[in-house]
Structure 1
Amino acid sequence: MAKSGANEKELWRACEAAIEGTKQKVEMAIRVAKSTAAWGKGKIGKGQTAKPRVLAVTTKDKGERTKAFLRVLKYTDDTTLEQAKIYKLKNLGKVEVLTSDPSGCTFLLGFDNLRNQRVAPVQWTMRNLDDRNRLLVCILHICKDVLGRLPKVAGIDIVELALWAKEHTSTGSKQQNLKDGPSGDLFAEGDTSVTVGNELVSQAEEEEMEVLLGTYVMGIGEAELFSERLKRELHALEAANVHAILETEHLVDEVLQGLESVTISVDDMDEWLGLFNVKLRHMREDIEAIETRNNKLEMQSFNYKALAAELDFLLEKFHVPSEISHCLTEGSFDESSLRTYIEACEWLRSALCGFDELDPRYTTTIAVKEKRAYLDIIKLTFVRRACAFLRDYFVNLVDSLMNDKGNFSQRGQLKKPDHADLHKKCRIYVRLLCHLKILDKNSLTPLRKTYCSSFNHLLRHETREFANELRAGTKAPKVQSAWFEGSTAPNQNVDTSMISEAYSKMLAVFVPLLVEESSFLSFFMRFEASSPDPPSIHDDDDLGMENDENGDMGALDMGALNVSLRDLLDGIQEDFFATVDWAHKIDPLLCISLHGITERYISDLKAETAGYVGLLLDALEDKIGTLFTRFVDDARHQIEKNDKNVKQTGVMTFVPRFALLATRMEQYIQGQSRDLVDQAYMKIIGIMFVTLDKISQADPKHSDIFLLENYAAFQNSLYDLANCVPTLAKFYHQASESYEQSCSRHISVVIYYQFERLFQFAKRIEDAMLNNSPEEVQFQVGLSKSDLRKVAKSNLAGVDKHITAMHKKLMKNMTCDELIPTLWDKCKKEFLEKYDTFAQLAAKVYPGENIPSVTEIRDLLAST
């Protein structure tokens, strides 16, 4: 028993390993033999062999429902199983035990989805009847629990199968569980045990079968004898019933007589009920007719009352007071009458909203259409009259200011524009504009154009007069703009700060003014994207409107606002441009400070309505940048004029003048103008270096002297500025490198001019030592000791004279005497290094030869 349980456990684990990863649970696993036979045949044919297989019943939980499968597993070796085929138990339609097999261990499983396949059915053969019953009971149990139905069972009595399941569940499985623990069969799993009472046969049927089977055991030997006995008992019972009926014949007659009399009474009662039913039906019809008439009268009365109330309501809506009609169509727009107009607008708006809220069925009536058309005529008439009045009002308001010259700057007196009184007079009609926008949103477009045109004329006149007087009242010297032309450089000490102050003053006056005008325009001309309710007429003061102007107006219609801002401020930039041109003519370098001032105002603009003012300042900044770029281009052109392919010596005039220019430019830097100046440095210094190279190429013999003198002058003039300006420091280092290269080339020329044979001989010794030992070099052609003595005699005999000649050669053609000591020190250092190399080579190759030592040469150089 223990061995069998161990085998079942191994089979169970092998099945679980074969289906690992499918998330399915093995309910039962059992070994079978697989064979096939022809259709309708139950026996295994000749030549056919049975194959060992394992049938495993598995389930998979899917939330609220469970899926059941029958898996066929085959052996890959003695202990390992793999999946061969899988069937869904929901498709199982028939379980048939083959009667052709005397043992009863062979059966077929018929699946509905395989019924049409032309393949011989698979026969499964079990080892014994217990294994067969265990498998079939497990399958039937799962079909009942999971699928809610049982397949058709043939070839086996399901009652016997249920009794077998009950017996083995109550005895055999319990013992096995106590001895061996869980195993792979049906009865080892408590949740899959089959009971007769609630699965296959009901309790009552079970008791009847037990009594019947008990009777069979007590005396009945064969089914035919039992049937004969039952028939005899049935005949006896029928005869006894007939005899009892004949004995009670008189009682039957009495019952029949009573039934006949009752039938007569029932017929009479049926006639009476029929008569009463007809009368009741007529009475019910009369009552229903009366109720119908009453309901109609009540409904008619209710409708008449509702109609009268609705007509009264409509008449009240349709009525237009005469004072409202007169005010909107004929009244004047004086300031004293403004309250009346606002009240009339509120009434008209309320009346139009009332028509919009009417039931759609009323809108088709002629009266409603006519009254609505009348209100529309009143609305259009009022809007037209109000727009015409406001257009004239704006034009007359600006004309009155334009005619008074005291409102503008005059000779000797700058007048800062003040529009507070102007805005106050306009703000009187804010509520009227709110109602105009609500009544007709397109009516504000021509009003905005008129307002912007009139105020644009005023703003341009104020700006022009202020700019003219500002320029006339600012006295500043004229500064020479040609920095790199002429014999004298521009005076660096000229004070032009008053020009920058004048420009700054103009921006300080007009930028806040233009921003204020932009904000007032967006508030006054109602550029909100939506149409909010206008303020109540009971708010007598204008403080609420001022708070709306300075506070949050909600989302703005930026497209329409930008169009009006362009109409309002277009052309004002011309007077700013004229001021910039005036400053540029006085001193082009003023563009640096003007650029910084403008950038500061651009960065300070935060208001959404100041977008066009920002565009104006951007254009002004571009204008300043263009003028300064023109100045830089002129300076570059002046420097390029020095390149005439004509021999030029000494330091070029544009080198020290650039240092003066850079010093002056640094004085004008304000705010964020650093980039503008750095770009100018890169352009001017770049063309300076290119021009120096081109001029040096016109005289190759003295090009290094020319370059080192100019690069040295560049460094000396910009030393202080390079320490604090990163851009100039970069060019300073570039000039330093070019200076060192020019010095190195010039010194090499001077040295080789006097000692060329000596150092060429040293070069040949070095080349020979690449392929020969030092002892063999003196035997090479041209490198003998006699050759060494000849070279030493020509260059080292009277070496002090040669050194003096080298010093004179270095000084020749030099225009900057202050550079000579430094150059001579570099020359002596380089000559001494070269001679030291020659002396070391001579000591290796020509030992014992008498040539001046390095110490002697150093002493001679120190004495010069």
Structure 2
Amino acid sequence: MARSSADDVELRRACEAAIDGGGGKQKVVLCIRVAKSRGVWGKAGKLGRQQMAKPRVLALTTKSKGQRTKAFLRVLKYSTGGILEPAKIYKLKHLSKVEVIQNDPSGCTFMLGFDNLRMQSVAPPQWTMRNKDDRNRILMCILNMCKEILGGIPKVVGIDIVEMALWAKENTPAKTSQVATKDGPATSVMTENDSQITVERDLVSQAEEEDMEALLGTYVMGIGEAEAFSKRLKRELLALEAANVHALLESEPIVEEVLQGLEAASICVEDMDEWLGIFNVKLRHMREDIESIESRNNKLELQSVSNKVLIEELDKLLERLQIPSEFEAALTGGSFDEANMIKNIEACEWLTGAIKNIEVPNLEPCYAKLRAVKEKRAEFVLLKCTFVRRASEFLRNYFPSLIDFMINDKSYFSQRGQLKRPDHADLRYKCRIYARLLQHIKSLDKNCLGPLRKAYCHSLNLLLRREAREFSNELRASTKVSKSSTVWLEGPPGSSQTTNSADSSSASEAYSRMLTVFIPLLVDESSFFAHFMCFEVSALAPSESFGSNKFGSDGTETNLAAHTGSDVKHKNNSNELEILNECLRELLDGIQEDFYSVVDWACKIDSLCCISMHGITDRYLSTQKADVAGFVRVLLDDLETRVSMLFSRFVDDACYQIEKYEKNVRQMGVLPYIPRFATLATRMEQYIQGQSRDLVDQAYTKIVSIMFVTLERVAQVEPKYADIVLLENYAAFQHSLYDLANVVPTLAKFYHQASESYEQACLRHINMVIYIHFEKLFQFARRIEELMFTIAPEEIPFQIGMSKMELRKTLKSSLSGLDKTVSAMYRKLQKNLTAEELLPSLWEKCKKEFLDKYGSFLKLVAKIYPNETVSSVAEMRELLSTM
């Protein structure tokens, strides 16, 4: 028997290389050569001609994925170079039927039916093997894989199960097969006999076995030996073969007639096929002629359409390149008067659009290289330069002429006896006429805006400074004030400190009026300038951007362009913002001097005006937080700094005047700056406006701290009278600031501090007076207290100088003539006290302190000398009340 291709090792290697390149992802279980042909479906098939069989290779493969194993049927074909390459792949889980074709007498042709094929109307391919052994081998392999991997077998048609089982028993070479287990695919070695027995058991059901046994039983009934049965079967077989031969010989004429009919039909079909071939050649030539005609026709139509579109595009291009005569006249030599501005604006708009239309984004790139377009672009650029030069020259002369006209007319400014608020409405109206012209100039040539902005800033700066100077001079001249000659916290005690209060308020009102008139004007001018001169800044530069700006020592603004860095829009417009800040500096620089002069003038009239001016400035600063004009906020910040500096200078002078009292040799009674400070604080509270509370509180803290320090130093000049000086001055401080301390928290704090110092001074002075007049009595009590630390209380009377006799002597010397002693003590309190109104309360404190000390003395006597009789505290209180 010829060697099967299923045992060809080279074929297996070629299949593995063709399937996955030899990577080993899929394992080839069986590969065998077959012939592929397309079957026919009943009577609808072609007569007399079958398709030619094609060589193919069928390969059964498995692929393991985790614990699962998949089975495939692969069809491979030969390429031009004789190399195997994949053609088709089928999944065995979709195999539904295995059918052996009955039309093939050899029985080597079979068909595989899959239930997932899309084209069910097309006959599936038929596979023809070299012999029945190859057919049985591949079919048995397919059925075994379906059973082992998929758990079931497809439908088998046209093949004898018994025949396959017998064949499997005869072909029992050992082979290696792969089966699926619960733990994954496993390879095991088994014989084909085992496999075929399994297949036979699977392919023949129990019912079929019973039918076969019944059939066989009919033949063995009455037969005793197998040999006799075999002879009988041979005789029957010979009879059947003889009957078949006889039937064939009888049907020979019919067969010959059928063969003749088939031959005639075959000749007709061959003739028809020849005629169809001729017609096919003629039709092919006709189709080529038609395609050639259609191609030429399409080219002509395309050329016609292209020519039409080209003409339209050229018309559009010419329309873009043509310059209207009226616009050309306006751009090259037109007037810039107000009556002609509409025509000039229209010409600018046309020129801007024309330049954009011949640029690459709006014009096809192929047109941009045309000579006509390049020449026209150069002509447009020349036209743009000419117009921008003429318009810039006109505006550079127009802005100074407007300002010069206003400066030369004195009626625009404040005059003697008449304050005039600056009015720029007419100026802005005349400027707005050319606002759109400036926008077009910027779009045509952005660099031309720089000189125009400088010319506008320089001219308007002269007007604003002139208006501020005239208004400031007339404001000071018209305010009825006289310079205050009174120096606070200095001078004789009886000098008046309340002069010029009305004049001081008028000076503050003059400063407020200066801000009311000019701050909104400067804000409006800054905003108008930013819009008019086409600055592209977000929200026109919020005031936070100028938080760090300051004026230099010469009064000019420095570092106006400060950026927070937190706003993305500010970063995008940083260059525009810097240019705007620089222009605003040129626009408003120098005007701050007139504000400074008003501040200095009001401060010379009365330094307390700084308080109200500080509050006014704070109020304007709080309303300018979201303002667009950075220079105005810087101006207000600097004014506030200047006012604070002047007021600090006034506070320093007041502190210096207080410190001068320390140089006097002796100071008795209430120091003069105590009541004067109360008057000063009252005036300062009258001037507080807006947010100036902190400024005044800082001044209170500094002045009162110096007052208390100086008072302590003055009191120490003569220690003998130190407590009297302290208690009188602290009492005067409390008395003079009682009302203000109830409403001013800062003064309330110092009021409580003075009250504590007063109580301490009173206590020290009273103790001194008491010890002077009752020295022996309290020295005896002090010795008792000292001895109690070292010895027992009952032993103290036995110490030297501490006997009961000594106690009686001490009581007699101290308490005899008590009325005289108390009168002397009262006179001692009255002797050096200049503030008589303090004596009653001081005397009451003195009696209370004496009774407290006397009560402590009695407790010691009762503990050490229990049997001694001494006047009680109640008797002593009653005695003192009668004196």
TM-score, normalized by the shorter chain, greater than 0.5 = yes
Establish whether residue 839 from structure 1 lines up as the match of residue 835 from structure 2.
no
Superposition map of 1:5-16 within 5 A: none
CA distance in 2, matches of 1:651, 1:428: 74
Residues 356-403 of structure 1 show CA distances to partners (whole Å, capped at 9, x for unaligned) of 422222222222222222212212221222122112111111111112
For 2:328 and 2:144, the matched residues in 1 are separated by: 91
The 1-side partners of 2:714 and 2:263 are apart by 155
Tell me how far 1:855 sits from its aligned partner.
Answer: 4.7
The residue number in structure 1 matching 2:92 is none
Q: For the Cα contact (< 8 Å) 2:484–2:499, is it kept in 1? A: no
Cα deviation for residue 747 of structure 1 reads 0.8
Q: Deviations over 1:690-746 (max 9, x none)?
A: 222223333333222221111111111112222222221221111011100111111
Cα deviations by residue, 1:301-329 (Å, 9 ceiling, x for unpaired): 11111111111111111111233122112
The whole-number CA distance in structure 1 between the counterparts of 2:825 and 2:690 is 55
Name the residue aligned to 1:596.
Answer: 615
Map of 1:518 onto structure 2 = 526
Corresponding letter in the other structure for 2:209: L
**2:656 maps to amino acid:** H
With 239-248 and 403-412 compared, the bigger mean Cα shift is at 239-248
Partner of 1:426: 431
Equivalent residue number for residue 643 of structure 2:
624
Deviation at 1:825, TM superposition (A): 1.8
Identify the residue that residue 462 of structure 2 maps to in structure 1: 457
Taking structure 1 as reference, are residues 785 and 210 closer, same or farther at Cα in structure 2, changes over 3 Å only?
same
Q: Of 589, 597, 608, which aligns to 1:570?
A: 589
Distance 1:151 1:461 in 2: 110
Written as runs of structure 1 = structure 2, the 5 A alignment for 1:4-403 is 90-91=66-67, 209-216=205-212, 218=214, 244-356=247-359, 357-403=362-408
State how far apart, in whole Å, the 2-side matches of 1:634 and 1:694 are.
19
* 1:479–1:491 contact (8 Å) kept in structure 2: no
AA matched with 1:91: Q
Structure 1 residue 847 displacement after superposition: 4.0
Distance change in 2, residues 1:309/1:153 (3 Å): closer
Q: Which residue does the alignment assign to 1:751?
A: 770
> Matched residues in 2 for 1:318 and 1:330: separation?
21
Please, which of 422, 430, 437 is the counterpart of residue 442 of structure 2?
Answer: 437
For residue 710 of structure 1, the aligned residue among 729, 753, 758 is 729
- Is 1:501 aligned to residue 509 of structure 2? yes
User: Greater shift after overlay, 658-667 or 261-270?
Assistant: 261-270
AA matched with 1:484:
L
Distance 1:573 1:352 in 2: 46
Assess, with a 3 A threshold, how the Cα gap between structure 1 residues 219 and 818 changes in structure 2: closer, same or farther.
same
Secondary structure of the 1:328 match is helix
- Whether the 8 Å contact between 1:796 and 1:852 is mirrored in structure 2 is no
Residue in 2 that maps onto 1:36 = none
Provide the C-alpha distance between the structure 2 equivalents of 1:276 and 1:857, rounded to a whole number of angstroms. Answer: 160
The TM-score, its normalising length taken from structure 1, stands at 0.69
- Contact kept, 8 Å, 2:497 with 2:676, in 1: the verdict is no
Distance 1:573 1:274, change over 3 A: same
CA distance in 1, matches of 2:627, 2:733: 50
The alignment's TM-score, normalised by the length of structure 2, stands at 0.68
Compare 589-598 and 636-645 and name the one that shifted more: 636-645
- 8 A contact 2:331–2:347 mirrored in 1: yes
CA distance in 2, matches of 1:640, 1:796: 47
How far apart are the structure 2 equivalents of 1:759 and 1:238? Answer: 167
- 2:778 corresponds to which letter in structure 1? F
Query: Which residue of the partner structure matches residue 49 of structure 2?
Result: none
Residues 479 and 587 of structure 1 are in contact (CA less than 8 Å); yes or no, is this contact kept in structure 2?
A: yes
Alpha-carbon distance change, 765 to 606 in structure 1, aligned in 2, over 3 angstroms: closer
- Give the partner amino acid of 1:338: M
Asked if structure 1 preserves the Cα contact closer than 8 Å seen for 2:778 and 2:857, the reply is yes
Give 3-state SS (helix, strand or coil) of 1:344's partner: helix
- Describe the shift of the 1:236–1:475 C-alpha distance in structure 2 as closer, same or farther (beyond 3 A): farther
Q: CA deviation at 1:669?
A: 1.7
Partner of 1:673: 692
Query: What is the CA–CA distance in structure 2 between the aligned matches of 1:802 and 1:416, rounded to whole Å?
Result: 80
How far residue 778 of structure 1 moved from its aligned partner, in angstroms, is: 2.5
Identity of aligned residues (%): 59
| Counterpart code for 2:252 | E
For the residues of structure 1 that align with 2:356 and 2:604, how far apart are their CA atoms? 65
Deviation of 1:673 after TM superposition, in Å, equals 2.0
The equivalent of 2:837 in structure 1 is 818
- The alignment yields a C-alpha RMSD, in angstroms, of 3.6
Q: Quick one: which amino acid aligns to residue 662 of structure 1?
A: A
Partner Cα distance (1:676, 1:704) in 2 = 34
Q: In terms of mean alpha carbon deviation, does 359-368 or 620-629 score higher?
A: 359-368
Q: 1:836 to 1:281 in 2, by over 3 A?
A: closer
Query: Which residue does the alignment assign to 2:498?
Result: 492
Q: Secondary structure at the match of 1:635?
A: helix
1:777 CA drift (Å): 4.1
Q: CA deviation at 1:799?
A: 2.8
Question: Quick one: structure 1 residues 237 and 380, their matched pair in 2 at CA, closer, same or farther if it must change by over 3 Å?
Answer: farther
What is the identity, as a one-letter code, of the residue corresponding to 1:214? Answer: E
* Aligned mates of 1:652, 1:418 — CA distance in 2: 56
* Number of aligned residues: 652
Q: Distance in 1 between matches of 2:330 and 2:387?
A: 9
Q: Residues 169-197 of structure 1: CA distance to partner in whole angstroms, max 9, x if unpaired? A: xxxxxxxxxxxxxxxxxxxxxxxxxxxxx
User: How far apart, in 2, do the equivalents of 1:296 and 1:235 lie?
Assistant: 83
Go from structure 1 to structure 2 and tell me whether the alpha carbon gap of 1:512 and 1:702 turns closer, same or farther (over 3 Å shift). same
SS at match of 1:396: helix
1:468-508: per-residue Cα shift (whole Å, max 9, x none)? 11112223122136312333555313222221121122122
**Distance of 2:632 and 2:251 partners within structure 1:** 127
Structure 1 residue 820 displacement after superposition: 2.4
Amino acid at match of 1:326: A
- Mark the CA change 1:346 to 1:851 in structure 2 (over 3 Å): closer, same or farther: same
AA at the equivalent of 2:662:
D
User: What is the rounded CA distance, in whole Å, between the counterparts of 2:249 and 2:630 in structure 1?
Assistant: 123
The alignment status of 1:659 with 2:669, answered yes or no, reads no
Unaligned runs of 5+ in 2: 1-63, 71-142, 154-200, 220-225, 540-568
Q: State the distance in 2 between where 1:239 and 1:485 align.
A: 165
Q: Show the 5 A alignment for 1:459-474.
A: 459-474=464-479
Where does the alignment leave 5 or more consecutive residues of structure 1 unmatched? 1-87, 95-148, 160-204, 532-553
Give yes or no for contact 1:92–1:151 (8 Å, CA) kept in 2: no
Cα pair distance change 1:773/1:280, threshold 3 Å: same
Task: Check whether the contact 1:707–1:739 (CA below 8 A) recurs between aligned residues.
Answer: yes
CA distance in 2, matches of 1:234, 1:420: 135
Distance 1:207 1:706, change over 3 A: same
